[in-house]
Structure 1
Amino acid sequence: MRENLIFLWLVIAVSLQADNDSTKQASPFLFTASYVGENVFNLSGGIKTGYNYLGFANLNLTFDTEKADLWIDGEFFINAANTHGKTPSENMFGDLQTASNIEAGNHIYLQELWYRHHFEKVELTVGLQDMNAEFANTENGGLFLNSSFGIPPTFSLNLHAPIFPLTSLGITAKWQISDRFIWLNGVYDGTPTDFGKNPYNINWQFKKGDGILGVSEMQYLSQNKQWPGTYKLGIFAHNHVIERIFINLPDSLDTNTWGLYGIIDQQIWQLNNKKINGFLQIGYSPSEVSANDFYLGAGMNFTGFLCKTHDDELGIAIAHAHLAHANESETAIELTWHKPLLRYFYLQPDIQYIIHPSGKSSGLKNVLAAFLRFGFEF
């Protein structure tokens, strides 16, 4: 608890310094900070009803080598993070998709540490990376709290992928083929060293059996001014040694886990300061050890409809994950509203209804959960 408070004070101090620095445009250093807090209530169903609090703090430092008069087109980035609070999906809801995308337990750690070099049409990044920062994300899905709208469970349930909260070393390349096409490729340590052996994520170990995770994604950017959209199609493959997960598997298995995914972000309608956006996610992973072999997510965002300032965003979405070995499914339906207040602060009330958490055979009743998220961004 003491370490969490110290980290939060650092977030506040860095934020105030960044805001008051009148020369920050000329400085090679760029400091940013954020804090997200969440009040979580399980109103019915799941493991038990009750209340939890979660928090997530970030400190970011970017160093521009050109502004420092070292060399052009270079960039270093450090992201330090602190997660604290309870684990409602584990202790209250019993769901697999994880209803809150900041649930991670109590940790102070390094989330990212990388160097990026910009060539004419290619960006090359080397170091400790969050794969989801580049791959398999949806801009419109980012409004929602459920983790599946951040990254499909074909990654999060099937792999030890380098995503929040625990990342790993990797190399990624982003090629701007044209104004419309972007090609992303990444290779990562297939199994990040867990917090038990790596509490601050600075003890990186590439061990036999970790394997390699490779991801490739093609993006198409629509140039239609009236109906702008982004379309993504990706494939991933992960070779690793796993311990027994399911009763019909041996004690260990040298296996390949692979899958495909597609994501669409599309503007549907706009009039003056009001607009409607939609998104669609599809994931498929038929490997024998895949817990989630098929995923379908979709949602709509309504911007500027409820407030005269037209800066609020209302969203409704559904995430459906099929559980392969049980031949069952878990489905989450989410309704959320994001409202900026003052300069840096926002509030976000949220309701989720989770059908068959962990599958029907778990015996858990459907969950009705309520969230009140708030955040500071500097």
Structure 2
Amino acid sequence: TFKGDALGLPRSIFNFSVMGTRTGLGAEKLLGDSLINPSNIEGSRNRLVLDTAFWQQNWLSQPGLNIATRTGVFDLSADFINTGNAGQLLNSSFGLDPNMTGNFTASTFPQNGTGVVATLDNRPAFNDTAPLTLKLGLIQGDVNSQTQPFNQGVLNIAEGQWQPEAGSAYKIGVWQKRGNGLPDIHGGYLSAEHNLFAQGAQSIDGFIRASAARGSTSLGLNRYLSAGFNWQAPLANRPDDYLTVGFGGLQLQPTGQIERLFEAAYIIKLSPRIYLQPDIQYIQHPNGNLPNAWVCIVRLHIEYGTQYDRPQRP
């Protein structure tokens, strides 16, 4: 990542990264052919891909009005449909909306697509958050390949955000995916995050998200609901640990079968840059027709470069 001042583009950022994935297809072998992966960093095959390559430009920056764009290759969830307090959970349903990933190959891990996003907000001066934000996106529809992105359908998406105070965020969004010789799909979503308790180093934040989609004629998803909480410092003598718990339910079409899941993750801070995360999940009726399953994952998180207060979602 570097700033564009040297190129004569003040208030701009250029980002480029590649990513390699190596997989043993553990979820497929142990769980079955499920639409939802219990691990959000398990790729579909061994490969090296372009992860990000974008230009981000702030066109207008003044108190009460900011306009910016991001153009290039990036993860859709960097701008849309993200629930920050669910970010420590490993089940992929807590990431980008399953009504997208379960119906088409959306621009997200393990392969991002090309697009442009415009952001307008009314952030006051000297404030990192904006009470009101509007995001508009035109994204590659199906990311079957990173070449010829405009021959693989188009995803139109819009999201409005309201952050009335620190620790609270409410979002509403609509989207439509069309083209690529496939039936059009459209959907919408709502999400809310709110601080429930804060005292000293301890805090508890709750989250809930609901979404729906229509138009797909193949086996996919058409409804999703999730809720949970993120608890900082569940043990008073460990202020940098986190316990995150989430529940979710997905309705599959055309059968109407329901897949339900429960997940609990505990993040242990071993050093300023090293975290250990044990995770347990119980999945009922994976894909609607597979046997119930327990999933246990242990993830080691090592940071470098910029130091964060807490580990970030991959």
TM-score exceeds 0.5: yes
Equivalent residue letter for 2:229:
M
Q: CA deviation at 1:102?
A: 0.3
Pick one of 110, 128, 139 that aligns with 2:50: 110
| Deviation for aligned residue 1:205 | 4.1
Distance 1:152 1:332 in 2: 15
8 Å contact 1:235–1:260 — kept in the other structure?
A: yes
* Residue equivalent to 1:298: 227
Do the aligned partners of residues 109 and 288 (structure 1) sit closer, same or farther apart at CA in structure 2, a change above 3 Å counting?
Answer: closer
The answer to whether the 8 A contact 2:86-2:244 is kept is no
Q: Does structure 2 retain, via aligned residues, the 8 Å contact 1:220–1:231? A: yes
Q: Identity over the aligned pairs, expressed in percent?
A: 28
Aligned-partner SS, 1:154: helix
Deviates more, 1:176-185 or 1:165-174: 176-185
Mapped to 2, the partners of 1:216 and 1:315 lie a distance apart of: 28
Q: Which residue of 2 aligns with 1:191?
A: 142
CA shift at 1:307, angstroms?
5.2
Match of 1:217 in 2: 159
| Structure 2 gap ranges (5+) | 61-65, 124-129, 305-314
1:72 maps to 2:10: yes
Structure 2 CA distance for aligned equivalents of residues 339 and 188 of structure 1:
37
Question: What does 1:319-358 align with in structure 2 at a 5 Å threshold?
Answer: 319-358=248-287
Once residues 125 and 241 of structure 1 are traced to their aligned partners in structure 2, the CA distance between those partners, rounded to angstroms, is: 24
What residue in structure 2 maps to residue 314 of structure 1?
A: 243
Match status 1:91 vs 2:15: no
Matched, 1:174 2:119: yes
Deviations, residues 201-254 of structure 1 (Å, cap 9, x unaligned): 4x34432xx22111100000122x5xx300110000011245xxxxxxxxxxx4
Letter in 2 for 1:107: R
CA distance in 1, matches of 2:59, 2:235: 44
Question: 2:105 touches 2:144 (CA, 8 Å); kept in 1?
Answer: no
Stretches of structure 1 lacking an aligned partner (at least 5 in a row): 1-61, 195-200, 243-253
Tell me the residue number matched to 1:139.
Answer: 84
Aligned-pair distance for 1:69? Answer: 6.6
Question: Counterparts of 2:278 and 2:97 in 1: how far apart (Å)?
Answer: 23
Q: Secondary structure at the match of 2:262?
A: strand
Task: Report the Cα distance in structure 2 between the residues aligned to 1:135 and 1:79, rounded to whole angstroms.
Answer: 20
After the TM superposition, which segments of 4 or more aligned residues of structure 1 sit over 2 Å from their partners? 68-71, 203-207
Give secondary structure in 2 for the equivalent of 1:192.
Answer: coil
**Secondary structure in 1 matching 2:150:** coil
Q: Is the 1:168–1:204 contact (alpha carbons within 8 Å) kept by the matching residues of 2? A: no
Q: Give the Cα separation in 1 of the matches to 2:114 and 2:285.
A: 36
> TM-score, normalization: structure 1?
0.74
Report what 2:170 is aligned to.
231
CA distance in 2, matches of 1:206, 1:374: 37
Matching residue of 2:308: none
The structure whose RCO (Cα within 8 Å, separation 6+) is larger is: 1
Q: Secondary structure at the match of 1:137?
A: coil
Check the 8 A contact 1:128/1:170 in 2, yes or no.
yes
Q: Distance in 1 between matches of 2:249 and 2:110?
A: 23
2:217 corresponds to: 289
- Amino acid in the other structure paired with 1:90: E
